[in-house]
Amino acid sequence: MKKNLNKSQVYFVGAGPGDPELITVKGQKLLRKAKVVIYAGSLVNPALLKGLKTKIFDSASMDLDEIVGVIKKAVKRGELVVRLHTGDTSFYSAITEQIERLQELGISYEVVPGVSSALAGAAALGQELTIPEISQTVIFTRLEGRTPVPKKERLSGLAKHQATLVIFLSVGMINKVTAELMEGYPKNTPVVVIEKASWPQQKIVRGTLTTIAGLVEEAGIRKTALIYVGKALCASEQAMGKESKLYHKDFKHEFRK
């Protein structure tokens, strides 16, 4: 967070995955206090904006200069601004370029985290993504599209770790995704695709690396979906028989001796 003597403050707020009840308490309080809200209209649930007595801008039709222009004018008027992004702001939110512009203008800001759709998806499955002796690593990534991905981060390379993968922004290229993943994972590796996690329209499709592409096509899923990959996904359908040491009766620590 960059601080200066500006009376107003700009907040980049994670709106959560879709369910309006999953925004944080702090995020909700800021929305109620804001004089200006700029939200990602193509992704943020409009229910979050109901009843707000504020100026609301939909960033779906705005470019970076226009967004920063709205913020700059609001700051000059001494108004509190909320820039509302879907999910959590820490990945695939495009806040970096906005923050850099604010820094150039000497405008103070704060980032308020939100619940990622990746976490909402795991909750929908009723499981954790890290299972003892199965997977202790979760990788958040995406397939290369219009935004390039560093060569060392290609799916074919990440697949060799056989960790739990959560793949964003890639379901429209599901055939390419599975082809690259099969360079490292066994073909029968479980895959789950979750469309619009936590929304009323949520849809869950289960398969393996060899079957998921066809199942996704049958379900008509083309965007706003996450792809989960890895053996740990079996935990939502069957007992894994793997227990952590944390609650074992013989495990001692400072709170249990």
Residue 3 has pLDDT above 60, yes or no: no
Residue 182: C-alpha distances to residues 69, 157, 174, 203 (Å): 46, 10, 12, 24
Q: Judge contact between 39 and 58, C-beta under 8 A.
A: yes
Q: What is the pLDDT of residue 147?
A: 84
Q: How many CB atoms lie within 10 A of CB 58?
A: 15
User: Could you tell me the pLDDT band of residue 175, with boundaries at 50, 70 and 90?
Assistant: very high
As a three-state string, the secondary structure of the chain is CCCCCCCCCEEEEECECCCHHHCCHHHHHHHHHCCEEEECCCCCCHHHHCCCCCEEEEHHHCCHHHHHHHHHHHHHCCCCEEEEECECCCCCCCHHHHHHHHHHHCCCEEEECCCCHHHHHHHHHCCCCCECCCECCEEEEECCCCCCCCHHHCHHHHHHHCCEEEEECCHHHHHHHHHHHCCCCCCCCEEEEEECCCCCCCEEEEEECCCHHHHHHHHCCCCCEEEEECHHHHHHCCCCCCCCCCCCCCCCECCEC
Mean pLDDT over the full length of the chain: 91
Least confident piece of the model among 27-41, 56-70, 73-87, 231-245: 231-245
User: Could you tell me the pLDDT band of residue 255, with boundaries at 50, 70 and 90?
Assistant: low
User: Could you tell me the pLDDT band of residue 69, with boundaries at 50, 70 and 90?
Assistant: very high
Residue 241 has pLDDT above 70, yes or no: no
Q: What is the pLDDT of residue 133?
A: 87
CA–CA gap between residue 104 and residue 85 (Å, rounded): 21
Residue 247 has pLDDT above 90, yes or no: no
pLDDT (tens digit, 9 = 90+) per residue, 106-149? 999 999 999 999 999 999 999 999 998 899 999 999 998 888 89
User: Could you tell me the pLDDT band of residue 256, with boundaries at 50, 70 and 90?
Assistant: low
Residue 170 has pLDDT above 50, yes or no: yes
Sign of CA dihedral 94, 124, 132, 183: negative
The token duo for 106 is: 């000497």
Which amino acid, one-letter code, is at 76? K
Least confident piece of the model among 136-150, 154-168, 235-249: 235-249
| Percent of residues, the chain, with pLDDT higher than 70 | 89
pLDDT (tens digit, 9 = 90+) per residue, 195-211? 999 999 999 999 999 99
Residue 79 has pLDDT above 70, yes or no: yes
Rounded to the nearest angstrom, the gap between the alpha carbon of residue 66 and the centroid of all alpha carbons in its chain is 25
Which amino acid, one-letter code, is at 48? L
Q: Single out the residue of 202, 201, 247, 175 nearest to residue 191, CA to CA.
A: 175
Q: What is the pLDDT of residue 243?
A: 64
Least confident piece of the model among 63-77, 129-143, 203-217, 227-241: 227-241
CA–CA gap between residue 24 and residue 15 (Å, rounded): 8
User: Could you tell me the pLDDT band of residue 5, with boundaries at 50, 70 and 90?
Assistant: very low
The full set of domains in the chain, from first to last, is: 10-112 (3.40.1010.10), 117-236 (3.30.950.10)
Q: Looking at per-residue confidence, does 103 or 2 come out higher?
A: 103
Question: Taking the chain, what is the end-to-end CA distance rounded to the nearest angstrom?
Answer: 41
